[in-house]
Structure 1
Amino acid sequence: MSAAASSARLILTRLHEVMAARTHAQGKLNRVVELIGESLDSEVCSIYLLRDGMLELFATRGLNQAAVHVTRLGVGEGLTGTIAQNIETLNLDEAATHPEFQYRPETGEEKFHSFAGVPIVRRERAIGVVCVQHIDPRRYEDVEIEALQTVAMVLAELITNAGLVDEEEIAGASAEAQTGQVTIEGLKLVKGLAIGQAVFHQPRVTIEQVVAEDVEAERQRVYLAFDRMREQIDNMASQAEFGVGEEHEQVLQTYKMFAYDEGWSRRINEAIDSGLTAEAAIERVQQRTRMRMREISDPLLQDRMHDLEDLANRLIRIVSGQLGTAAQKGLTKDSILVAKNLGPAELLEYDKRRLKGVVLEEGSLTAHVVIVARAMGVPVIGRAKNVRGLVRDGDEMLVDGDAGTVTLRPSGGVLTAFEARFAQSRAKRAAYAELRDVEPFTRDGERIEVMMNAGLRDDVGMLAMTGADGIGLYRTEFQFLVSAALPQRERQARLYRDVLDAAKGKKVIFRTVDIGGDKSLPYISSENAKEDENPAMGWRALRLALERKGLMKAQARALLEGCAGRELNVMFPMVSEPWEFDAAKEVFDQQLDYLKKRKHQLPSAINFGVMLEVPSLAETLDLLIPRLKFISIGTNDLTQFLFAADRANPMLAERYDWVSPSILRFLKRVVQSCVGHPVNLGVCGEMGGRRLEALALLGLGIRRLSITPAAVGPIKELVRKIDTREIADAMNGWLASPPPDMRVALQEWADAREIDVE
Structure 2
Amino acid sequence: MDLGSALLSAEMAIEFLPEAQQQKVYLCEAPLVEGAIAAVVAAAAGRDIHQVMAKARGALLAKATQLGVVSRPLSLVTSTTDVESPTREIRLIVSNRLGLQARPAAQFVVTATRFQSQILVRNLTRNTEFVRGDSINQVTTLGVRQGHELLITATGADADEALAALQALFANNFGEAARSCCSNKEGLPNPEGEDNVALNSPPAFHHEFTPATHGELSGIAASPGVAMSTTGFAYAPVVHYQPTHISITEYHVEDVKLEWQRLEAAIHTARQEIQAVFSQASLQIGDAEAAIFDAQLLFLEDPVLLEAVKERIFKNHLNAEAAWQAVVDEVATSYRTLEDSYLQERVDDVVDVGQRVLRLLVGNADANLHLEEPAILVATDLSPSDTARLDPKKVLGICTTSGSATSHSAIIARTLGIPAVLGIDAQVLHLADGTLMALDGESGRAWIEPESHILDLLAAKQEAWQTAQQQAQATAHQPAITLDGRQVSVFANIGSIKDVQVAVANGAEGVGLLRTEFLYLDRTSAPTEEEQLAVYQAIAQVLDHRPLIIRTLDVGGDKPLPYLRVGFPEANPFLGWRGIRFCLDHLDLFKTQLRAILRASVGHQIKIMLPMIASVTEVRATKVILGEVQAELNQAGISFDAAMKVGIMVEVPAAVAIADQLADEVDFFSIGTNDLSQYVMASDRTNPRIANLVDALHPAVLRMVQQTIQAAHSGGISVGLCGELAADILATPILLGLGLDELSVNPQSIPGVKQAIARLSIVESEAIVVSALQQDSAEDVRELISTSVTPPA
TM-score by length of 1: 0.52
1:511 maps to 551
The reply on whether 1:459 has 2:499 as its aligned counterpart is yes
| 2:736 counterpart of 1:698 | yes
Aligned residues: CA RMSD: 5.1
**1:631 — aligned with what?**
669
Residue 473 of structure 2 corresponds to 433
1:678 aligns with 2:716: yes
Match for residue 632 of structure 2? 594
CA distance in 2, matches of 1:493, 1:730: 44
SS in structure 2 of the partner of residue 444 of structure 1: coil
CA contact (8 A) 1:700 1:728 kept: yes
- 336, 341, 345: which one aligns with 1:181: 341
**Aligned mates of 2:595, 2:347 — CA distance in 1:** 38
Residue pairs, 1:434-583, within 5 angstroms: 434-527=474-567, 530-583=568-621
Q: Find the aligned partners of 2:327 and 2:763 in 1 and give their Cα distance.
A: 70
1:668-688 per-residue CA deviation (whole Å, 9 max, x = no partner) reads 111221233321101011001
How many Å separate the matches in 2 of 1:340 and 1:118?
A: 21
Give 2:103's aligned residue.
Answer: none
Alignment TM-score, normalising by the size of structure 2: 0.49
Cα 1:613–1:96 change in 2 (3 A) is: closer
8 Å CA contact 1:443–1:722 kept in 2: the answer is: yes
Instruction: State the partner residue of 1:197.
Output: none
Separation of aligned partners in 1, 2:376 and 2:640: 51
**Is 1:746 matched up with 2:785?**
yes
- 1:104-156 Cα offsets, whole Å, 9 max, x none, are 9998x8xxxxx855449xxxx95899xxxxxxxxxxxxxxxxxxxxxxxxxxx
1:38-87, Cα deviation, whole Å (9 max, x unpaired):
xxxxxxxxxxxxxxxxxxxxxxxxxxxxxxxxxxxxxxxxxxxxxxx996
Task: For 1:102 and 1:582, locate their aligned partners in 2 and report how far apart those are by CA, in whole Å.
Answer: 58
Q: Distance in 2 between matches of 1:182 and 1:465?
A: 36
Q: Deviations over 1:632-689 (max 9, x none)?
A: 0000000000001122233334422222221222211112212333211010110010
The one-letter amino acid of 1:306's match is D
Q: Secondary structure at the match of 1:606?
A: coil
Match of 1:643 in 2: 681
- Per-residue CA distance 1:442-494 (angstroms, 9 max, x = gap): 01110101101001111110232111110000001111013332111111111
Equivalent residues of 1:476, 1:513 under 8 A apart = yes
Kindly report which structure 2 residues correspond to 1:238-637, keeping only aligned pairs within 5 A, or say none: 290-291=360-361, 305-308=365-368, 327=377, 341=386, 352=397, 377-378=417-418, 432-527=472-567, 530-603=568-641, 605-637=643-675
Residue identity opposite 1:291 in structure 2: L
User: AA paired with 1:673?
Assistant: A
User: Secondary structure of 1:627's match?
Assistant: coil
Q: Is the 8 A contact 1:341 1:361 kept in 2?
A: no
Task: State the distance in 2 between where 1:732 and 1:287 align.
Answer: 50
Aligned partner of 1:709 in structure 2 is: 747
1:102 aligns with 2:311: yes
Within 2, Cα distance between the matches of 1:544 and 1:175? Answer: 44
- Equivalent-residue separation in structure 2 for 1:708 and 1:725 (angstroms): 27
Supply the AA of the counterpart residue of 2:785. L
Identity among equivalent positions (%) equals: 25
How many residue pairs are counted as aligned between the two chains? 456
Residues 493 and 104 (structure 1 numbering): CA distance in 2 closer, same or farther, change over 3 Å? closer
How far has the Cα of 1:566 moved from its partner?
A: 2.9
Specify whether residues 502 and 393 from structure 1 end up closer, same or farther in structure 2 by C-alpha distance, changes over 3 A only. same
Q: Which has the higher contact order (CA 8 A, sep 6+)?
A: 2
In 1, Cα distance between equivalents of 2:528 and 2:631: 21
CA contact (8 A) 1:463 1:503 kept: no
Aligned residues of 1:338 and 1:359 also touching (Cα < 8 A):
no
1:374/1:723 CA distance change after superposition, 3 Å: same
Change in 2 beyond 3 A, CA 1:536/1:431: farther
Structure 2 contact 401–424 (Cα < 8 Å) conserved: no
Q: What is the Cα deviation at residue 557 of structure 1?
A: 0.9
Closer, same or farther: CA 338–557 of 1 in aligned 2, 3 Å: closer
Is the contact between residue 358 and residue 380 of structure 1 (CA under 8 Å) also seen in structure 2?
no
Matches within 5 A, 1:1-400: 94=258, 100=307, 101-102=310-311, 116=319, 118-119=321-322, 181-183=341-343, 290-291=360-361, 305-308=365-368, 327=377, 341=386, 352=397, 377-378=417-418
Q: Secondary structure of the equivalent of 2:664?
A: helix
Q: Report SS of the residue matched to 2:366.
A: helix
Distance change (3 Å), C-alpha of 1:427 and 1:666: farther
Match of 1:718 in 2: 756
Residues 472-529 of structure 1: CA distance to partner in whole angstroms, max 9, x if unpaired? 00001111013332111111111111111111111100000011133211101223xx
In the alignment, the residues of structure 2 paired with residue 650 and residue 696 of structure 1 have an alpha-carbon distance, to the nearest angstrom, of 27
Instruction: Quote the Cα distance in structure 2 between the aligned partners of 1:364 and 1:175.
Output: 17
Report the secondary structure of 2:511's partner residue.
strand
| Paired letter, 1:442 | T
Q: Which whole-Å CA distance do the structure 2 matches of 1:478 and 1:336 have between them?
A: 27
Q: 1:447 to 1:520 in 2, by over 3 A?
A: same
Contact 2:591 2:625 in 1 (8 A): yes
Match of 1:9? none
Give the conservation status (yes or no) of the 8 Å contact 2:517–2:553: yes
Q: Does the CA-based 8 Å contact 1:338-1:360 persist in structure 2?
A: no
Quickly say closer, same or farther: Cα 1:734–1:379, change in 2 above 3 A: same
Q: Compared with structure 1, are the counterparts of its residues 515 and 363 closer, same or farther at alpha carbon in structure 2 (3 Å cutoff)?
A: farther
Change (3 A) 1:629 1:727: same
Q: Quick check: 1:665–1:735 contact (8 Å CA) kept in 2? A: yes
CA, structure 1 residues 344+356, in 2 after alignment: closer, same or farther (shift >3 Å)?
Answer: farther
Distance 2:409 2:399 in 1: 24
Alignment partners' CA distance in 2, 1:671 and 1:187: 46
Q: Which amino acid aligns with 2:585?
A: E
- Hey, what's the Cα distance between the residues in 1 that align with 2:471 and 2:400? 25
Higher mean displacement: 517-526 or 678-687:
517-526
Q: How far does the alpha carbon of each residue in 1:576-615 deviate from its partner, in whole angstroms, 9 at most, with x for none?
A: 0111111112211101001111211112631000000010
* Structure 1 spans left out of the alignment, 5+ residues: 1-84, 110-114, 130-168, 190-282, 295-304, 315-324, 330-334, 382-387, 395-408, 410-424
Amino acid corresponding to residue 474 of structure 1 in structure 2: L
Gaps of 5+ in 2: 1-245, 265-305, 350-354, 427-443, 445-464
Matched, 1:729 2:729: no
Cα 1:502–1:694 shift into 2, 3 Å:
same
The CA deviation at 1:626 is: 1.8
Secondary structure at the counterpart of residue 645 of structure 2: strand
Structure 1 residues 690 and 87: alpha-carbon distance in aligned structure 2, compared to 1, 3 A threshold: farther
Q: 2:687 is aligned with what amino acid?
A: N
Contact 2:384 2:409 in 1 (8 A): no
Contact 1:358–1:379, Cα closer than 8 Å, also in 2: no
Instruction: Give the C-alpha shift of residue 95 in structure 1.
Output: 5.2
Structure 1 position 375, deviation (Å): 9.9
Secondary structure at 1:513 match in 2: coil
Q: Distance in 1 between matches of 2:732 and 2:586?
A: 37
- Counterpart residue number, 1:29: none
Q: Give 1 or 2: higher strand fraction.
A: 1
Amino acid in structure 2 at the alignment position of 1:741: D
Kept in 2: contact 1:509–1:571 (CA 8 A): yes
Deviation at 1:380, TM superposition (A): 9.4
Which residue number corresponds to residue 687 of structure 1? 725
